[in-house]
Structure 1
């Protein structure tokens, strides 16, 4: 990697510190624990530290919005409509945001979008505090929030390759993903405890305060302007189209997206969790079963992140993606075949570990295989795939589950993931053979 792409907070190149990871981390339990080398880079450490706060705060809003909509309407359908209202802005602005991130200083873009997210959270708080009780206002604010998120995410993720050296990208992705997955577990639990005590409006306010921490962290980042003059072009639809052409010409990038689509669309059974809890695992208590099913994958992902030292130094990134997606499919297949809740939770936790490994190395491939002037657009497409895949899976699994039965839909989907990924690895070796 060009040293100009690996800038730390004090303006020096993010070179190694003379340790190859075989010293103090090479013996005993330390070799298995989370790889924390990227935290030695001041700029990355600031960005990561802010994520600790905002990953929990964002989940407070993620719980508060559907809760408030359901309280107003008494209808789960409106909760679903609100989710769709946020999807289109996320897709459009993630693609556009990726092009913008390649044409301007990414630090400046992060400042603008994080400030926009903070203002949106304040508006959520205001409408709840004054008792507006308008579903349409909530949906409009949700659309605005997702638009800012779509603009923010590509710039944030693309910046990581400028803050840490190439060999630490998997470790950096593991650190970030672990924090986000921890937020998926802790945020909803904290929201459940706080709602009866302080109410919904204060949850929005907490999220706004957390976003101010992110703004502060971004202010302290180094400037991240485009590295080449050619990158300083307009961020219109032509730039977005160039991003898709770039993907089509770089097979390893295209295959990394395809691997995630296979895993999520064919093998994400979350839409069937309520029915599993109500019927298959009813004897354990429907509420307990539902909570465990939804929490198991994030818990497994956090566990995978805490033990990321076991895999973060692997150099065959493509093979790690293929292996982890196959493991995900096998775990989902096991979920569909069991009638024991605790075995089901174990399979889902194993799927969470596999998903963490997949996220780490897909993210590393996107940052290492793409040039800096294209990283924003690659991250924009990545955001769309990550957000859209599970939503398509909800429709697919819900439909197939109603027609063929829940367990058949889950086990069949997992098996299809395994077969499709094996076929992908055999037919197109570009991903299988990719390494740094």
Structure 2
């Protein structure tokens, strides 16, 4: 007898299971839930300050140059402390490092609040705090990125990073809008104060995560330790490919700096805000329908396709004369960038040994932070030479050409398969050993407690 065809409702449920976010890490790991909630809270809070700082500088100076200087003050501390933070993440308790850096970031928000409450706020403390925030972020981010592989099972890493991207993209869409309303109607002081409150809530959540001590025999933080990480990255051509492709994509096809000019050229001043939000909307859509990413094994190929999609979408945005098409292609670019991010994060955390994970996170921080900074310089300079729209589409085409050239030069990236890769197999075995030791320790503690309880009762 033939089996009955599945009903429409069962087909819909099957489709939803395929595309819906994989919540397994949320269900299986208490520490991941706490870390995720902390990220949600501080993510929205940070956007309040992200919008308030340039707004306050504009109010104090009425100078676009003064506003742009914030990025210059942030770049060097981010590079230096990002690399050093990676070395610290491999040598110290990662949870404690994240906690201390979060406390430092909260104190810096308090300094911004105090300055904003002065009868006449001063400009230089804002630049100083911006540099210190970049330094603290550089110290925290590698430990934060390296923390997830220690608290989530190896086979759930893709799902974990997809869930992290979900709240980050939601914050990128809603955060600036909320911040704009708060700053406009309640002032920068209120924005800073609310950010301080979110840091307090985040600290409470982070303090409940169990300790994550460094591996036995961890290398002490030093310049030599940093160089060890850099040499490891250079020896892994698949890793090198992920860094190079992301840097190429951002360098040639990150036109955010010229969005105000693009909106003006399209005679659509109203579209400036939507242009900034469009890529985040696309990324968010991928996040909420990204359950399929947990079943991908060839992450190098996924990264290549996503980076090419990013370049093509940016090129089409530059060629489009309709603002609605521009917004559509920017959203498609954001979706492609989100897929690229999931592919990179998964490959990194599946195949990098825990003893080096923090230092590699520092290298990764540079790869995805420096690229957009240089990309804005490229976009602005080229716009002055060949025009705004040409700067956008030429950058997209250059991205496609550059990504294809890098993929050809680094074939190990395309051959990566987490089912057969020896580095991924070694990390998987490392996770299994750690889980077995943890389970054995918990059982031993339980038996010890059971043996002591009759004596205590007697």
Q: Same fold (TM over 0.5)?
A: yes
Mapped partners of 2:379, 2:397: distance in 1 = 14
Which region of structure 1 is more displaced relative to structure 2, 137-146 or 210-219? 210-219
Residue 6 (structure 1) aligns with: none
Deviation at 1:119?
0.9
Residue 101 (structure 1) aligns with: 89
Q: Is the 8 A contact 1:301 1:356 kept in 2?
A: yes
Mapped partners of 2:83, 2:329: distance in 1 = 34
Q: Is the 8 A contact 1:335 1:411 kept in 2?
A: yes
Deviation at 1:426?
2.6
Mapped partners of 1:222, 1:199: distance in 2 = 38
Residue 164 (structure 1) aligns with: 152
Q: Is the 8 A contact 1:167 1:313 kept in 2?
A: no
Residue 353 (structure 1) aligns with: 335
- Aligned ranges 1:319-330 → 2 under 5 Å: 319-330=301-312
Mapped partners of 1:44, 1:151: distance in 2 = 20
Matched, 1:31 2:18: yes
Q: 1:117 is matched with which residue: 100, 105, 125?
A: 105
Matched, 1:302 2:284: yes
Mapped partners of 2:120, 2:416: distance in 1 = 54
Residue 48 (structure 1) aligns with: 36
Residue 15 (structure 1) aligns with: none
- Aligned ranges 1:175-186 → 2 under 5 Å: 175-186=163-174
Size of the aligned set, in residue pairs, is: 408
Q: Which runs of 5+ in 2 are unaligned?
A: 1-9, 419-458
1:7-54 Cα shifts (integer Å, max 9, x gaps): xxxxxxxxxxxxxxxx99981322111122111111101100111111
Name the SS for the 1:210 alignment partner.
helix
Mapped partners of 2:139, 2:243: distance in 1 = 20
Residue 291 (structure 1) aligns with: 273
- Structure of larger gyration radius: 2
Q: 2:226 is matched with which residue: 240, 246, 250?
A: 240
Residue 145 (structure 1) aligns with: 133
Mapped partners of 2:347, 2:339: distance in 1 = 12
* TM-score normalised by the chain length of structure 2: 0.86
Matched, 1:363 2:351: no
* Alpha-carbon distance change, 25 to 139 in structure 1, aligned in 2, over 3 angstroms: farther
1:197-254 Cα shifts (integer Å, max 9, x gaps): 321112111111111222122211121111221x1x3212111111111111111111
Q: Which runs of 5+ in 1 are unaligned?
A: 1-22
RMSD: 1.6
Q: Is the 8 A contact 2:313 2:396 kept in 1?
A: yes
Residue 11 (structure 1) aligns with: none
Q: 1:223 is matched with which residue: 211, 217, 238?
A: 211
